Amino acid sequence: MLLDEFNRADRGDAIAVLRPCVDVTRWCEGIADRRPYATVDDLMIVAGEAADPFIAEEIEAALAHHPRIGERADGDSREAAMSRSEQTGVDPADSEVQQALREGNRRYEEQFGRVFLIRAAGRSAQEILSALRDRLQNDAVAEERVVAGQLREIALLRLKGTVTA
């Protein structure tokens, strides 16, 4: 969607454009309510600050839409398509890395009670696996901050591909 269209959209439609980026109501409303934006850069600045920090309930709700790393999102929604595109660096043909990701995902979920979240776009499966192993060393408080940061990175990356000049 062009920035001009986003600026002119009614509030509900603007929020609907933002939800696939990250389904955090406070974030979506905060961005929609600050329109109009002169540039995409202005939009991105506001998006980087909106709903900061994400609270635990927002993180958990947003994570409900994210597949495990190494698994492809099902469906034909914009969010599923974005997720599949972001995980292109995770090659399903590399069975050793796939097995290590499955095991890491299992351990992470047991330890933290949620799906492992990382900005996968631009990262190889090996880089993701290394980050997963590193983050298993975090305590719950440190990991909460990391997850919130990763969620924001994903949202901004998706937004940049959604609203253009």
C-alpha to C-alpha distance for 23 and 27, rounded to whole angstroms? 8
Largest CA distance in the chain: 49
pLDDT of residue 92: 61
The mean pLDDT value of the chain amounts to: 90
Residue 154 tokens, joined: 């994903």
Burial 108-145 (b: 16+ CB within 10 A, else e): beeebebbbbbbbbebebeebbebbeebeebeeeebbe
Residue 83: per-residue pLDDT? 58
The domain made up of 3-162 is a member of CATH 3.10.180.10: no
List of residues 6+ apart from 119 with CB closer than 8 A: 86, 150, 153, 154, 157
Residue 145 has pLDDT above 90, yes or no: yes
Q: What are phi and psi of 94, to 5 degrees?
A: -85, 85
Is the CB of residue 58 less than 8 Å from the CB of residue 22? no
What is the domain partition of the chain in residue ranges?
3-162
C-alpha closest to that of 14 among 26, 22, 6? 6
- pLDDT tens across 68-114, in order? 877 765 666 666 566 556 666 666 657 898 899 999 999 999 999 99
pTM of the model as a whole = 0.86
Q: Which residue has the higher pLDDT, 25 or 65?
A: 25
pLDDT (0 to 100) of residue 140: 96
Looking at residue 67, its pLDDT comes to: 79
